[in-house]
Amino acid sequence: MRPASRFIAPDLARLPIVVDARAISVSEAIRAGLSVAVIIAASEFLAFPPLREAALAALLTCMCDPGGPIRRRVPVLLSFALIGAAVTGCYGLLRDFGPDVALPLGVFGLFCSSFARIYGQAPQQLGALLSTVQILSLDRGNPSLREAGILAAAFIGGALWAILLTLVIWRVYPFLPARRAVAEAYRSLSELVRDLHMLVQTPAITDAAWEAHARIRRRAAREAIEAAQTVVMDTLRSRGAISNRAAQSVIRLETADQIFGSLIALSDLLEHASQNERKVAERVLRRMRPVLLTLGRGMITDDPDARRRIDRAIDAIVAELGNLPTDAPLRAVIDRITDRLRIAHNLAVPAQFAPGVDTAGRLMPFWPRLVRPLAANLNWRSPALRHALRTAVTAALPLAFTMYWFAPYDHWLTITVVATMQPYFSLTYTRAIERIVGTAAGGLIAAGVGLVCTSPLTIAAAMFPLAMLAFAVRAVSFGLFMMALTPLVVLLVETGAPDTGEWTIAFARAGLTAIGGLIAVGANFLLWPSREPDLVVPEVKNAIAAHGAYAEADFSVLLGETTEAVLGQARRAAGVTTNALEALITRALLEPGNKNQDALEAAMVVDAGLRRFAGRLATLQHDTGLAANTPAETLRIWRDWIGTSMRLLASGKTVLPPRPGGAENDALARIARQIELMSGAMERLRQ
- Separation between Cα atoms, residue 126 and residue 54, nearest integer Å: 17
Q: How far is CA 308 from the centre of its chain?
A: 29
Residues of the chain with CATH 1.20.58: 176-347
- Separation between Cα atoms, residue 263 and residue 284, nearest integer Å: 12
Separation in Å, CA 560 to CA 124, 550, 563, 644: 38, 15, 8, 20
The amino acid at 31: R
Closest CA to 351 of 123, 620, 98: 620
Cβ atoms of 338 and 295 closer than 8 Å: no
pLDDT computed for residue 13 by the predictor: 38
Cβ atoms of 416 and 513 closer than 8 Å: yes
Class at the top of the CATH hierarchy for domain 176-347: mainly alpha
pLDDT computed for residue 627 by the predictor: 67
- Separation between Cα atoms, residue 73 and residue 65, nearest integer Å: 7
The amino acid at 521: V
pTM across the whole model: 0.59
Cβ atoms of 640 and 663 closer than 8 Å: no
pLDDT computed for residue 384 by the predictor: 82
Q: How many CA atoms lie within 13 A of 8 on its CB side?
A: 7
What backbone phi and psi angles, to 5 degrees, belong to 357? -120, 160
Closest CA to 182 of 249, 241, 247, 259: 249
CB neighbours of residue 539 within 10 Å: 22
How high is the mean pLDDT in each 10-residue block of the chain (687 residues)? 36 42 60 78 79 86 74 83 91 83 90 86 83 84 81 91 76 72 89 87 72 71 82 67 68 84 80 82 89 85 73 86 82 85 70 47 67 81 84 89 74 82 71 75 72 68 76 67 74 58 68 81 75 68 91 88 83 78 70 60 84 75 67 88 92 87 68 87 80
Supply the DSSP string of 267-316, one letter for each residue.
Answer: HHHHHT--HHHHHHHHHHHHHHHHHHHHHHHHHHH--TTHHHHHHHHHHH
- In sequence order, the β-bridge partners of residue 357 are 363
- Separation between Cα atoms, residue 112 and residue 89, nearest integer Å: 18
Tally: H helices and E strands in the chain: 27, 0
Angular region, 98: left φ>0, alpha ψ -120 to 50, beta rest? left
Which residues, at least 6 apart from 24, have a Cβ–Cβ distance to it below 8 Å? Answer: 472, 473, 475, 476
pLDDT computed for residue 15 by the predictor: 43
pLDDT computed for residue 617 by the predictor: 81
- Separation between Cα atoms, residue 607 and residue 540, nearest integer Å: 8
Closest CA to 49 of 472, 498, 473, 676: 498
The amino acid at 308: R
Which residues, at least 6 apart from 206, have a Cβ–Cβ distance to it below 8 Å? Answer: none
Closest CA to 263 of 288, 240, 241: 288
pLDDT computed for residue 648 by the predictor: 92
pLDDT computed for residue 548 by the predictor: 92
What backbone phi and psi angles, to 5 degrees, belong to 463? -70, -25
pLDDT computed for residue 174 by the predictor: 66
The amino acid at 669: A
Residue 131 is given by DSSP the state H
Question: 210-236 burial, b for 16+ CB within 10 Å, e for fewer?
Answer: beebeeebbeebbebbeebbebbbbbb
pLDDT computed for residue 646 by the predictor: 92
